[in-house]
Structure 1
Amino acid sequence: MRSTFLLFSSLILLSGQAWSADRQMESKGAKTDISALLKVQSDVQKLLPKVRPALVAIQTGGGTASGVIISADGLLLTAAHVPNGPGKEMRVIFEDGSVTTAKSLGLDKTTDAALAQLKDRGKPWPFVSLSREVAKAQPGEWCFALGHPGGFDKARGPVLRVGKIVKQTANSLHTDCILMGGDSGGPLFNSNGEVIGIHSQIWEGRDQNVHVSMAPFLRSWDAMQKSQVIKTWGIGAGGYLGVATVMNDDLELSVADVIDGSPALKASIRAGDIILSVNGEAMTDQQQFSATVRARAAGDTLKIRLRTHGKERDVSVQLAQKPQEEGE
């Protein structure tokens, strides 16, 4: 009864958050009312017992996060910034408090997608399915998020948030599901109980958060299973910068890697630098930075403001032609 009340309450609160978006959609014939909320509540209540066993809490040297199992042999999806590299051993906790370990496989540093493998226990692991119909995750669709905000808490258990998709990009989904630190790497589900996203960029106090969609996972599946690190460098129409970025623990855009011989390296950009702005425009996430760089051609100059060891500095970088042998 308590879980039913909490779910219903969250839906009532959510209806207030989604009011503006719903008002816009009413002109197109879509309308959210109490019957629609009750339908969502019923659907989530049926799905929750099926998907929750596949959710795990993850503990690494850098803190706590979440993940989700998507195969009987223990393949795990999480965010790339959780292990931050292949071959890392992670402590994995299930909702009943049982503990095992997982080894991180490959990851995509630009989109924040990562795979890991649970230690074999001799019998099938609980798992959920992922959606391969990436384009179907459209703005206005209901979804729900699971995770372990603040870390594993057996008395509290996993935390459920219900919301709507606000925006879809090539590699991400934005939703109004309220997330916190510790949710990173956890799953976003559609109304069929399929994973459609992995929690990536979380801003407490803001009205939306960013999840890696299934597109990067499906696109780089074989490479990540082979423990490869995919680096999609920022390029424009022939322009080439030569950096990979990641959101750090303080939710700042950080340089994760700089390729040898690249314009970025020649401009003295180094791993660990914080990217504050490009041509005067503040940079708040990876997608915005990639889009800003992609809009420039080879030969264009970017003025990038960085913070290095607490001190801010400006560098000018002239984009080059992308080397044929690079790209990942």
Structure 2
Amino acid sequence: MEFGPHARHGRAAELLVCLLALISFLVAGASGQAGAASGAVAAGSVDVPDIVSRVEPSVVTIIAGSELGSGVVYRQDGVIVTNQHVVASASNGSVQVAFADGRRMAGDVQAADEISDIAVVRVDRTRLPAATFRQQLPRVGELAVVIGSPLGLENSVTAGIVSGLNRILPASGGGGGSPAVDLIQTDAAISPGNSGGALLDGQGRVVGISEAYVPPQSGAVSLGFAIPSATVVDAVRQLLATGKVRHAFVGVQLTTLQPQIAATLGLDVDSGALVLDVTDNSPGQKAGLRPGDVILSFDGKPVSSAEDFSARLRAVAPGDTVALGIDRDGNNRQIQVTVTDQPT
């Protein structure tokens, strides 16, 4: 899996290059300091073997044709969550599910969503040990534990820290698919077969579902990614209710505005969601959003980070019109945006 930069033009290019350089420096420093703290926690008050023993029964192996991945027990009545790409090759929607207790049984793919890369599998088994999902994002530097079945090695465990948040991976394979957005980055090793498995915090709560990794041949070292639990829970809720997921779409690439970034760019505000780029013909462009705008509020609710914006957007439906309060060149203004379904 190799990822290359998207072409950028004009002010958006200058803004993106400046910000990515500064953000990389700031995040690297934060990760280094937090990583040292996390290492101390991992060696001291946090008992990783205890976390594993408690959560291991909630992680399963999923076999779909010739493909193999992982899954997490979502509800005790037989609902399992995994990646859509894990079950994409399932014959007639049927997979095999292997549990930590050694039992193996058939499962049916009830519904799946390609954009969020989330799927729901049902098995005819009750009293399963459902995992606990933490919908609040972890902090950079927190302990991260991955459980899954890399290369078919069931219930394998790796550990590291949360290396970054709100990561974006371009669509792979050249097929024109959607990029994966708002991902959690971790240096806990993720390999083929981990997809659909659990990314855990220091209390054994699922903070993400393992999604992808960048292989060493791409020049990467320990670059793994997971779908945040808030995204997972929302997708599963919709898949169970309607069989599909609706994704509100504005068409902006955002980053959290930090005081250091604001000072570098000479902005009058030091928090909010900074617009890096606006997709052509998107609702955001039609409403007049521009690179360099800082989104401060969403329907009257404060936005202090890119995470805030994503959380607010998840709460609205395609077709809704929302009011965005923005700062542009030191002037506050309101912009009305009618969100759409995210294009596939």
- Kindly indicate whether residue 197 of structure 2 is the aligned counterpart of residue 186 of structure 1: yes
SS in 2 for 1:92: strand
CA distance in 1, matches of 2:42, 2:233: 32
In structure 2, the CA distance between the partners of 1:102 and 1:21, relative to structure 1 (3 Å rule), is farther
- Counting only pairs closer than 5 Å after superposition, residues 9-20 of structure 1 correspond to structure 2 as none
Deviation at 1:23, TM superposition (A): 7.6
TM-score, normalized by length of structure 1? 0.59
Deviation at 1:196, TM superposition (A): 0.8
In structure 2, the CA distance between the partners of 1:116 and 1:325, relative to structure 1 (3 Å rule), is same
1:97 aligns with one of 96, 102, 119? 102
2:157 corresponds in structure 1 to 160
CA distance in 1, matches of 2:230, 2:94: 26
Query: Quick one: which amino acid aligns to residue 108 of structure 2?
Result: K
CA distance in 2, matches of 1:176, 1:26: 11
Query: Quick one: which amino acid aligns to residue 226 of structure 1?
Result: A
CA distance in 2, matches of 1:127, 1:145: 17
Q: Any stretches of 5+ residues in structure 1 without a counterpart?
A: 1-19, 238-290, 301-321
Deviation at 1:45, TM superposition (A): 1.5
Deviations 1:137-194 (A, max 9, x none): 121111100011111x4xxx42111011111127421111111111111110111111
2:280 aligns with one of 296, 300, 305? 296
SS in 2 for 1:150: helix
CA distance in 2, matches of 1:139, 1:97: 35
SS in 2 for 1:202: strand
2:52 aligns with one of 37, 48, 51? 48
8 Å contact kept, 2:145–2:201: yes
8 Å contact kept, 1:142–1:164: yes
Deviation at 1:228, TM superposition (A): 1.9
CA distance in 1, matches of 2:31, 2:75: 39
CA RMSD of aligned residues (A): 3.5
Query: Quick one: which amino acid aligns to residue 160 of structure 2?
Result: G
Query: Quick one: which amino acid aligns to residue 296 of structure 1?
Result: D
8 Å contact kept, 2:250–2:340: no
- Counting only pairs closer than 5 Å after superposition, residues 139-154 of structure 1 correspond to structure 2 as 139-151=140-152, 153=153
- Kindly indicate whether residue 227 of structure 2 is the aligned counterpart of residue 230 of structure 1: no
Deviation at 1:232, TM superposition (A): 3.9
CA distance in 2, matches of 1:29, 1:64: 34
Deviation at 1:39, TM superposition (A): 1.8
- Kindly indicate whether residue 212 of structure 2 is the aligned counterpart of residue 201 of structure 1: yes
8 Å contact kept, 1:106–1:226: no
Query: Quick one: which amino acid aligns to residue 141 of structure 2?
Result: G
8 Å contact kept, 2:141–2:163: yes
1:124 corresponds in structure 2 to 127
SS in 1 for 2:43: helix
TM-score, normalized by length of structure 2? 0.56
- Kindly indicate whether residue 69 of structure 2 is the aligned counterpart of residue 68 of structure 1: no
In structure 2, the CA distance between the partners of 1:226 and 1:61, relative to structure 1 (3 Å rule), is farther
8 Å contact kept, 1:85–1:106: no
CA distance in 2, matches of 1:35, 1:28: 11
8 Å contact kept, 2:84–2:118: yes
1:213 corresponds in structure 2 to 228
1:112 corresponds in structure 2 to 117
CA distance in 2, matches of 1:67, 1:173: 18
Query: Quick one: which amino acid aligns to residue 103 of structure 1?
Result: D
CA distance in 1, matches of 2:148, 2:133: 16
Q: Any stretches of 5+ residues in structure 2 without a counterpart?
A: 1-24, 167-180, 253-274, 286-317, 320-337
CA distance in 2, matches of 1:28, 1:149: 30
8 Å contact kept, 2:162–2:186: yes
CA distance in 1, matches of 2:146, 2:44: 17
Deviations 1:77-113 (A, max 9, x none): 1111112399721100123432012222233321212
CA distance in 2, matches of 1:110, 1:161: 27
- Kindly indicate whether residue 331 of structure 2 is the aligned counterpart of residue 327 of structure 1: no
CA distance in 2, matches of 1:72, 1:168: 30
The alignment covers a number of residue pairs equal to 226
Deviations 1:258-287 (A, max 9, x none): xxxxxxxxxxxxxxxxxxxxxxxxxxxxxx
Deviation at 1:202, TM superposition (A): 2.2
8 Å contact kept, 1:234–1:293: no
8 Å contact kept, 1:143–1:164: yes
1:9 corresponds in structure 2 to none
